[in-house]
Amino acid sequence: MNQQSSQQELIDIGRKAIEGAEFAEAIEIFSGVVVESPDSCISWFYLGVCYLETGQPDLAGEALDRAIAADPNYADAHYLRGTVMGATGNIDRAAEFYKRALEIDPTHYKAEEFLIRTEALIESRKHYREAMRLIYSPEREDDWYNHAVRELLNSVAIFTDSPAKSEFKGLAKFALESGTRVRVEASASVNGSFWISAVKQGERAIERNWWTEAIAGYQQALDLSPDYAFIHHLLGSCYFAADDSANGMRAWQHVIDLEPDYDFCTFPVLAY
């Protein structure tokens, strides 16, 4: 048996070991192959697979770099290198590797899928970072609050696990405590006494920090008339205060859907 056929046999054995999740065995096999054939792209690639599967991203990255150096047009190596980059938090570089994999093989559906996810994550991060700049800047810009709210909502809308979710409670608390009091008139089309009673229940409960009762009041008001942006605003603020960020974000998104230019840095009070 010549050296080439012997090497291929080892590669086949190593591949079967990977399929059986015998990664330690596979690492031993492919490590031996690359010692004898340091330009064996496929062996470096499979080493990268093994190291990634066994929680060793640094070694996986080194192996995949060697695979790409041996064959710059091996799309799977670029794709997996992107996965390693993403796993270590370097999402910008991950996107670059996914793009390169697609340039080599436009039908590489996994690279395309992960590129879409990664670009969404990058966009979400951009909105989150802008919100953090607005919130924590030592010299706050005009209308920083409303811009920050919208940046946070955009971040979460793009990537549901965005850390932006943790910032809403503080913003809601700021508006409840420091927002400009604005008197709001009820529309003549509202079922007057019941709607007013529900809104006032919410207002009285907020004064006492009774968030469950406030939520119940504002939800009842919305059941009677769902198109008041300021009620969605107050409802969302109460949800955030009650540590229910999912419903809080939904309520605040309704505000923007109803009134795109709504001022979140207010504390609306019903005039009646």
What's the whole-number average pLDDT of the chain? 92
Look-up: residue for tokens 């990537």? Answer: 159
Whether residues 20 and 102 share a domain: the answer is: yes
Whether residues 103 and 188 share a domain: the answer is: no
Cα–Cα distance, 92 to 106 (Å, whole number): 20
Is residue 78 situated within a structural domain?
A: yes
Is residue 24 situated within a structural domain?
A: yes
3-7, 130-134, 262-266: which has the minimum mean pLDDT? Answer: 3-7
Q: Tell me, what's the pLDDT at 1?
A: 42
Whether residues 99 and 192 share a domain: the answer is: no
What does the buried/exposed string (b/e) look like for 211-240 if buried means 16 or more CB atoms within 10 Å of the residue's CB? bebbbbbbbbbbebbeebbbbbbbbbbbbb
* CA Rg value for the chain: 28
Evaluate if residue 2 carries a pLDDT over 80: no
Q: Residue 242: exposed, middle, or buried by beta-carbon count in 10 A (0-12, 13-18, 19+)? A: middle
Whether residues 44 and 110 share a domain: the answer is: yes
Is residue 241 situated within a structural domain?
A: yes
Q: Which of 94, 121, 148 is the last residue of a domain?
A: 121
Is residue 152 situated within a structural domain?
A: no
Give the other-Cβ count within 10 Å of 35's Cβ: 10
For the chain, the 3-state helix, strand and coil shares in percent, each to the nearest 5, are: 75, 5, 20
- Reported as a pLDDT band with limits 50, 70 and 90, residue 188 is low
At 182, is the secondary structure helix, strand, or coil? strand
- CATH of residue 52's domain is 1.25.40.10
Based on the structure, what is the number of domains in the chain? Answer: 2
Domain containing residue 185: 178-271
Q: Which of 75, 93, 121 is the last residue of a domain?
A: 121
Cα–Cα distance, 234 to 217 (Å, whole number): 10
Is residue 139 situated within a structural domain?
A: no
- Reported as a pLDDT band with limits 50, 70 and 90, residue 272 is low
- Report the sign of the C-alpha dihedral through residues 88, 93, 97, 99, in that order: positive
